[in-house]
Structure 1
Amino acid sequence: MRIAFICTEKLPSPAIKGGAIQLMIDGIAPFFAETHSLTIFSITDPSLPMYEIRDGIEYVRVPKERYEQHIANELKKRTFHVIHVFNRPANVLFYKQAAPNSRFVTSLHNDMFSPMKMPPDVAKQVIAEVDAITTVSEYMKRTVTKRYDVPNDRIQVVYSGVDATRYMPPWTDEGKQMRTDMRQRFFVEEDDVILFIGRLSKTKGVHVLIESMNHVLAKHRNAKLVIVGGKWFSDNRLNDYVRFLHQLAKPYKDRIQFTNYIPSEHIPHVFTIGDVFVCSSQWHEPLARVHYEAMAAGVPIITTNRGGNREVIEHNKNGLVIDDYASPKAFAHAICELLGNKEKALALAYEGRKRAETMFSFANTAEQLERVYIKIFQ
């Protein structure tokens, strides 16, 4: 099959500036390139050519301004059996005019069918016109099916994944060495490291995590919170919320460390410094991909019962799930439980790694998507 992936207008592909969608595409693209013809459309970036063929994959990059029109123009020059529009379902109607003979799939990584983002009449038209909808979680699927009448055979959950081979669990020889090296580099050799990786936005709940440190340090004096990320992917500029976080962290001095944004290719190494990984999401998270990464890295996970998070993290099996997600004390209790019970922490980490290898691999994601494409093309 000739397949097209159309990224959002936010970030380029490959994921040189991060992004959950771009990282997912990077992970699944090689599997499609083995047996299909694959073209990936995204925005331009100064470090990338407008056009290239890399590892058998065609990359076409267009300006961010008038992005949809540029993409439509490119679609008119080519013929595809299946066009997959990532997280921009409304654009399907426009792209279909440019490629009327192609089958269309749209995937939801956020609540893009919300009436605040798409008028109901447009949403109904998209649902009628698209050949298949995939969602990154059951939660995201419900956001659509609760509002609109979607045929069950036209919407399917396809979880994202991870390449576990890029991550080094601390119980492996390579992981032990990398952990020693990275902990020296971050000056946390003697610390119990609580790790946060993600965008510094209020919805991610970093402020609640900082506020929990008062309770954590009362029991674990060597605890240190390492916050990895900027206000946006590859953007370390300050905004009001980031300034607030730094102010909130001041009383803790060296017990809280900000690293700013770290490129995605280095994140597998960064995970090795962690004794506990925390996803402190306050909003209805579609399903944060950091869960897959932390599982692959063999770091015990604490997450919140928000959105789709709990679909991949099972309480007391491969992590801890917090119901009282806005409570600093709830986070502190969970963190102290894992810092104080290394045996339990290791058991959760082992199970997480196993699930990353068997249930949430990019190979599984690609296989499920391929089934969707074949079904609608036949």
Structure 2
Amino acid sequence: MKITIVQGAFIPVPPILGGAVEKIYFKLGQEFVSLGHEVTHISRTYPSLENKETINGVSHIRVKGYATPKSLLVLKFYDLIYTLRTLKHIDSDIVVSNTFWLPIFFRSKTKGKIYVSVERRPKWQMKLYSNASRFRACSPMIFDLVKEKLKPKDHDKISYIPNPVPFQLKDFKTEKNNSILFVGRLDKEKGVHVLIDAFNSIPEEIAKNWTLNIVGPWESAEGGGGEAYYESLKSKKGNVNFVGSVYDQDALSKFYYESKIFCYPIQDGTGDAGPVAPREAMSYGCATVLSNHDCFNEYAVEDVNCLRFNQSSENQVEELSQQLTKLMTDTQLREKISLNGRKVFDDFSTSKIAKMFIEDFQSVLNE
């Protein structure tokens, strides 16, 4: 079959500026090709990238996009202009939409069926997507939320396919060190401030031999919380290392490989739907601590492959500190969590998830 993947207006593909969804579909597109399908991937232009090229069998078309603006209203306007520019490049069987406007403006019945990939909490726009043939939820939580937004007659249009771990494991031939790792945007909804406060509240005799590495962008244009939030993080005491953005996959994987503990403390109100970073970390054997957010429930099992804390509690800093301390001081527990977490890689491999997508695409075409 012919498959067109349409990314949003703000991050190029390959994901040289990061972007979990862009990273996922960059790898999935190549898997679709390996399964015998024809794939076109549309994304924004970028100075170091050709407007048209083929990468591992995937035809990449890049149209003019934008840097991420601070204003949500401006962001939606830019995304609209970008989406309209993509329409002339679409002619396929399945059109995977990762943009806000495409399911509204793509109306051709001969150039593909719209397949909406829901990667964040759905809102009112779901009701505008009457032209969509399928709503693919990236987690059970998102499946239920999409169902709430659609009329009962459209519930059979919803499917659940999890996000994959979009890389192959590598052996960097180094030892894990006493480090705790966070990877993601430096924003309040990610709970980076909570993590730093929790780390700083761990008794000195335990924490003195550990480092907290914070990897990710703080700039608003890259999805971060902005300079004021970043400065507030840096003002906190403690052995905290702000690494900045790391977009090279091997360099990022090396952080996972060398870290003993990974923490992803997202907060209530976050738009996270099926975060990839925790699965990447678990794949590399990081003993992982997660909040109790529902988006982790498809794979996170308390006291088996992770520890969790209640992000809704007034004492969440203390709770997180206690969970981190357990893993820092109890080698047996840490190794158990690490070993069980590694199984996530097999459960969510790109090749396995790609086959689920192809089966879902075919069911759409058979309708």
TM-score tier after normalising by the smaller chain length: 0.7 to 0.9
**What number of residue pairs does the alignment pair up?**
343
Match in the other structure for 1:318? 305
Which deviates the most, 41-50 or 147-156? 147-156
Write out per-residue CA displacement over residues 158-183 of structure 1, whole angstroms, 9 at most, x where no aligned residue: 1111156334xxxxxx45x3347xxx
Q: Quick check: 1:365 aligned with 2:366?
A: no
Write out per-residue CA displacement over residues 276-327 of structure 1, whole angstroms, 9 at most, x where no aligned residue: 1000101343121111101111111000111312322110111011124561
Match in the other structure for 2:112? 102
Q: How does 1:1-378 map to 2 (within 5 A)?
A: 1-34=1-34, 35-64=36-65, 66-75=81-90, 79-88=91-100, 90-97=101-108, 100-111=110-121, 113-115=122-124, 118=125, 123-126=126-129, 128-150=130-152, 151-163=154-166, 165-167=168-170, 174-175=171-172, 177-179=173-175, 192-220=178-206, 221-232=208-219, 239-248=227-236, 251-252=237-238, 255-265=239-249, 266-283=251-268, 284=270, 285-324=272-311, 327-357=316-346, 359-378=347-366
Pairwise CA distance, 1:59: 0.3
Q: Unaligned regions of 5+ residues in structure 2, if any?
A: 66-77
Pairwise CA distance, 1:93: 2.2
Task: Please report the TM-score for the alignment, with normalisation by the length of structure 2.
Answer: 0.88
* 1:51–1:59 contact (8 Å) kept in structure 2: yes
Write out per-residue CA displacement over residues 138-173 of structure 1, whole angstroms, 9 at most, x where no aligned residue: 111222212322534311111111156334xxxxxx
Task: Please report the TM-score for the alignment, with normalisation by the length of structure 1.
Answer: 0.85
Question: Hey, what's the Cα distance between the residues in 1 that align with 2:310 and 2:335?
Answer: 22
Question: Hey, what's the Cα distance between the residues in 2 that align with 1:368 and 1:8?
Answer: 23
Question: Hey, what's the Cα distance between the residues in 1 that align with 2:105 and 2:149?
Answer: 23
Amino acid aligned to 2:245: Y
Secondary structure at the aligned position of 1:40 is classed as strand
Write out per-residue CA displacement over residues 338-370 of structure 1, whole angstroms, 9 at most, x where no aligned residue: 11111111111111111212x111112111110
Pairwise CA distance, 1:32: 0.7
Question: Hey, what's the Cα distance between the residues in 2 that align with 1:362 and 1:105?
Answer: 19
* 1:194–1:276 contact (8 Å) kept in structure 2: yes
* 2:260–2:285 contact (8 Å) kept in structure 1: no
Question: Hey, what's the Cα distance between the residues in 2 that align with 1:360 and 1:130?
Answer: 26
Indicate the percent of aligned positions where both proteins have the same amino acid. Answer: 20
Amino acid aligned to 1:257: N
Amino acid aligned to 1:350: L
Considering fraction of residues, name the structure with more helix: 1
**CA root-mean-square deviation:** 2.1
Show structure 1 runs of 4+ deviating over 4 A: 232-238
Secondary structure at the aligned position of 1:370 is classed as helix
* 1:104–1:132 contact (8 Å) kept in structure 2: yes
